[in-house]
Amino acid sequence: MVMSILIYGGLNSIILALTALGFSLTIGISGVANLAHGGFYVFAGLLTWMLFDGLGLPYFIAILLSVGVTGLLGALMYWTVLLRVRGMVLSEVIATLAIGIGILEFFRWKGFVLYYGLPYFVEGSLEIAGVTIDYHRLSIIGIGFVLLVLLWLFTHYTKIGLAFRAIAQEEYTSLCFGIKSDWIAMLGVAFGSALAAIAAITILPLGTISIGVGYEVLLVAMAVAVVGGLGSTLGTLVASLILGYAQVITATFLAPHWMMVVYLVAIIVVLAIKPSGLFGELKELEERV
Amino acid sequence: MSAKQRDKKKWLFYVSVIWLIINIFPGVCFSQPAAPPIVFGMPAPLGETASIAGWKAAQMAVEELNAKGGVSVGGVKRPIEIYSIDTREHEPGIPIHDALMAIEKLILEKKPHAIAAGPMRSEVLLAALDAIVYKYKLPYMVTISMTPVLQTKITENYDKYKYVFRINPNSIYVVKLLSEVMAFLGKEFGFKKAYLICQDVLWAKATINGVEKEMKATGWEIVGKDIYPTGASEFSASLTKVKETKAQVIVPVFDMPPAAVLLKQARRMKVPAIIAGGIEPAAHSDAWKVFGGEVEGMVNTIFTAGHIPVKALPKSVEFYEKYGKKWGKTEQEKFFGQTGAATAYDSVYVLADAIERAGTLDGEALVKALEKTDMMGSIGRIKFGKDHQVIYGFDPKESAIGVAFQWVKGERVVVFPAQVSEGKIILPPYMK
């Protein structure tokens, strides 16, 4: 039982982190709460399915194309819509929410109301201390860690990555250093969207793709981002660990019925004690003032 | 040529032209006013699989009847027209009131003589009873919603709710079907321990509670019962307990897509228990492909025959094949779940039969005629009980039936009820 909680709690945490990473990155860099995150997630899943199952492309090629196209879609959304409303928080929220719902409902309208499955990356399973876990879930853990490491390296050792951090810290000052904040913000949204696609392609083979998943993913991403602190990658990771383990422990010792309540309770508690989230910096200064 | 001969020729020419016109366009020359159509309505959530399939099946039935000249009303053959409206009741955030408005819009605009199919959500059905059905006094055929409260209402206040008839089974029959499957598993393999898992929605909880009660009464030990919220996608807690308690059967009741995770995770965690219950996404004939073969060995339920061809019920095979031919096999694979299509198809025939017997389109007379329905449909023998629920049982010659099937090597094999079974339940490889 304990090993099962440790292993599946950890796995659940990585899944939550992957789900929320793109959302958190976007808000951290561009300051935009991308509520189209769930729409991009389902878009990437269905696009991969269409390319792989419909057109018969190799799975790996279908994945690469989906991630690329979803990233481009994010950039397009920024350039055509968000650029015009940037800085007006309410307008950004309304615009991204409308785009997200538009994507999901477009698929519903086109008849994608069923269940579509993606294959596992790796077949088979193994036993760790009496707990059976499959290779695909293990690969999710691996992908999660690799992504986090790559993201850290990218934001610390590349020019674009440093520019990401610069506008995240102080946009007006970064302008003085010749950083085109609109371009970087657009890249940030594109990166966030591509991360949503990676999450979708990694997680969706565990179940099936359906329109409703888009709405659920958005709720999860928002819960993790709020608890961890908006825009903080470290916060996203810590919040994922807390929520992931809390969910599995709740399901094991209380009842699975309360699993979804964990998110809501965590949000309420964090907002009551530390409104900026566990590692949030965006509001912290305001709070101090 | 004399003038008289020319006149005669002219006269013959004119007669010939008139004769030709009469023969070529008889309908134009001697047309009588066409018999007005009989109008049916189908308010349902048209973005949801059971309703999509239901709407297509209802159209197919209407086309078949019209091809035979229509339906006789008091000796006059009249064509049928059927109209649908999207109530969107399956979508999150759509209030019941919106669905009711859609139903009323259809009634006011198309003026149907009867509602042939719908609704999906029990909440919409119960609200429509007072807000719409009683107001317009139209025969209303229910083909998806499963709440048994409808029967209670009809029994308690017959005059008010007598217009409503249900073709699909209510959840009590689903409990009965599942309980019989469990009894069969117990008898055949000596299983005694079961773990129940269901979705946190009214119908699923009511069904699992009913199954639990029946199973306990027949000596089963229920070693655990978990209820998962609709968006849940992690089932390791329950599956670990299944392993620890050595449950031999997992009984799931779900209609949500993430239930796929439960099936896949159970296989991946190598849980040595047979899954036998009701998971809607795994009932479709393409589920083997969608789930990558991980439904192997699962015993699933289909609430109405016709959604799977049952050889002992030729009408179910006929309907299944006709639908596939008309709308395409791929479409059929995707939209034929546990119920909705066969019931809508049969509903149109039940209404047509009642209209012919009543000889009128008057609502009161139709209710009386519907109550005396006794005909064979794709779901089995269709007869209504006093509570206006089609009687469900296990012998298609006596009643309508639901079936249990098992996924074996990519095929759905009907395994229950015994009267129609086409194979025996076999233990999946992971239980041997």
Q: What is the pLDDT of residues B372-390, one digit of tens each?
A: 999 999 999 999 999 999 9
Instruction: Count Cβ–Cβ pairs < 8 Å, chain A vs chain B.
Output: 110
Min CA distance, B330 vs chain A (Å)? 12
Residues facing B405 on adjacent strands: B300, B414
ipTM over 0.90: no
Q: How many CA atoms within 13 Å lie on the side-chain side of A182? A: 12
Q: What is the dihedral of CA A164, A166, A171, A172, to 10 degrees?
A: -140
CB atoms within 10 A of CB B386: 10
Please name which of A76, A99, A70, A78 lies closest in space to residue A31, comparing C-alpha atoms: A78
* Chain B contact set for A120 (CB, 8 A): 292
Answer yes or no: are the C-beta atoms of A136 and A120 closer than 8 Å: yes
- Name residue, tokens 């990401």: A164
Lowest pLDDT segment from B64-78, B262-276, B376-390: B262-276
B292/A119 Cβ within 8 A: yes
B290 to A109: CB separation less than 8 angstroms, yes or no: no
Chain B residues 291-320 with CB within 8 Å of chain A = 291-292
Segment B2-13 mean pLDDT: 72
Residues of B in contact with A137 (CB under 8 A): 268
Whether the CB of B49 is below 8 Å from some CB of chain A: the reply is: yes
Distance of alpha carbon B306 from alpha carbon B321, whole angstroms: 10
The DSSP element (H or E) to which B82 belongs, if any, is: strand B80-86
Interface residue A216 vs chain B (CB under 8 A): yes
Q: Alpha-carbon distance A203 to A183, whole Å?
A: 30
Contact B268 A125 (CB under 8 A): yes
* Number of other CB atoms surrounding residue A86 within 10 Å: 17
Question: What is d(CA B49, CA A111) in angstroms, rounded to the nearest whole number?
Answer: 10
What are the tens digits of pLDDT across the range B176-201?
A: 989 988 988 888 899 999 999 998 87
Q: Rounded to 10 degrees, what is the CA torsion of A201, A205, A210, A215? A: -60
Contacts of B266 in chain A (CB under 8 A): none
Question: Which range has the worst mean pLDDT, A181-185, B75-79, B287-291?
Answer: B287-291
Half-sphere exposure of B391 (CA within 13 A, CB side): 19
Which residue type does B277 have?
Answer: G
Answer whether B232 sits within 8 Å of A4, measured CB to CB.
no
| Chain A residue whose CA is closest to B197 | A256
Average pLDDT over residues B126-142: 89
Confidence of residue B242 (pLDDT cuts 50, 70, 90): very high
Of B226, B234, B290, the CB nearest to A116: B290
Contact B257 A132 (CB under 8 A): no
Residue range B92-119: mean pLDDT, rounded: 90
Find residue B408's DSSP bridge partners.
B411
- Name all contacts of A83-86 with Cβ < 8 Å and 24+ positions apart: A83/A182, A83/A186, A86/A30, A86/A31, A86/A32, A86/A182, A86/A185
Q: Contacts of residue A15 in chain B, CB cutoff 8 Å?
A: 234
The candidate with the shortest Cα–Cα distance to A263, out of A231, A218, A233, A230, is A218
Q: Tell me what pLDDT residue B27 has.
A: 53
Amino acid in the structure at residue A42? V
- Largest Cα separation within chain B, whole Å, is 115
How much is the pLDDT for A286?
55
What is the average pLDDT value for chain B, to the nearest integer?
89
* B6 vs B360: which has the higher pLDDT: B360
Q: Is there a contact between A257 and B226 if contact means CB atoms under 8 Å apart? A: yes
What single DSSP character describes residue B31? P
Binned average pLDDT, 10 residues per bin, chain A of 289 residues: 86 92 86 90 95 91 96 94 87 93 89 80 83 88 89 88 85 86 90 94 88 88 89 87 91 85 87 84 54
- Concatenate the DSSP letters of all residues of chain A into one string: -HHHHHHHHHHHHHHHHHHHHHHHHHHHHH----TTHHHHHHHHHHHHHIIIIIS---HHHHHHHHHHHHHHHHHHHIIIIIHHHTT-HHHHHHHHHHHHHHHHHHHHHTT--S-B----SS--EEEETTEEEEHHHHHHHHHHHHHHHHHHHHHHHSHHHHHHHHHHH-HHHHHHTT--HHHHHHHHHHHHHHHHHHHHHHHGGGS-B-HHHHHHHHHHHHHHHHHH-TT-HHHHHHHHHHHHHHHHHIIIII-GGGHHHHHHHHHHHHHHH-TT-TT--TTHHHHH-
The two structure tokens encoding residue B126: 């119960």
Residue pointed to by tokens 């440093």: A162
A54 touches B at CB < 8 Å: no
Whether the CB-CB separation of A218 and A37 falls below 8 Å is answered with yes
- Check CB contact of A215 with chain B, cutoff 8 Å: yes
- Best of A101, A112, A114 to disrupt the B interface by mutation (most B CBs within 10 Å)? A114
Judging contacts by C-beta atoms under 8 Å, the chain B residues touching residue A133 are: 268-269
- Please state, in angstroms and rounded to a whole number, the distance separating the CA atoms of residues B182 and B221: 12
A147 to chain B, minimum CA–CA distance in Å?
Answer: 22
Which residue of A lies nearest to B227 if distances are taken between CA atoms? A257
Q: Is B131 exposed, middle or buried (0-12, 13-18, 19+ CB in 10 A)?
A: middle
Beta strands in B190-255 (DSSP E): 193-199, 221-228, 249-254
Q: Which is nearest to B387 in space by CA: B169, B202, B114?
A: B169
- Maximum alpha-carbon separation in chain A: 58
pLDDT at A289: 47
Q: Please compute the mean of the pLDDT values over residues B245-267 and round it to a whole number.
A: 85
Element (H, E) at B43: strand B38-44
> Which among B124, B54, B60 is positioned nearest to B87, based on CA atoms?
B124
From chain A, the residues in CB contact with B281 under 8 A are 115, 208
Q: How does A97-111 read in b/e, with b if 16+ C-beta sit within 10 Å? A: bebbbebbeebbeee
> Residue B117: CB partners within 8 Å, gap ≥ 6?
B42, B44, B54, B55, B58, B141, B143, B144, B343, B344, B347, B348
Q: Is B47 on the interface with A (CB under 8 A)?
A: yes
Nearest CA in chain A to B283: A115
Q: What is the dihedral of CA B63, B65, B70, B75, to 10 degrees?
A: -170
- Residue of A254, A184, A239, A242 whose CA lies nearest to A28: A184
Q: Does B199 touch chain A (CB under 8 A)?
A: no
Nearest by CB to residue B257, choosing from A1, A115, A131, is: A115
Q: Is A257's CB within 8 Å of B200's CB?
A: yes
Task: Give the closest-approach CA distance of B313 to chain A in angstroms.
Answer: 28
* pLDDT over 90 (residue B413): yes
Tokens linked to B119:
């609704």
Q: Over pLDDT 70: what percentage of chain B? A: 95
CB within 8 Å: B47 and A260? no
Instruction: Tell me, yes or no, if A255 comes closer than 8 A to chain B by beta carbon.
Output: yes
Residues of A in contact with B268 (CB under 8 A): 125, 132-134, 136-137
CB contact under 8 A, B291 and A117: yes
> Is the minimum CB–CB distance between B353 and chain A shorter than 8 Å?
no
Nearest by CB to residue B258, choosing from A120, A207, A247, is: A207
The shortest C-alpha distance from B104 to chain A (Å) reads 23
Hey, are the CB atoms on A8 and B240 less than 8 Å from each other?
yes
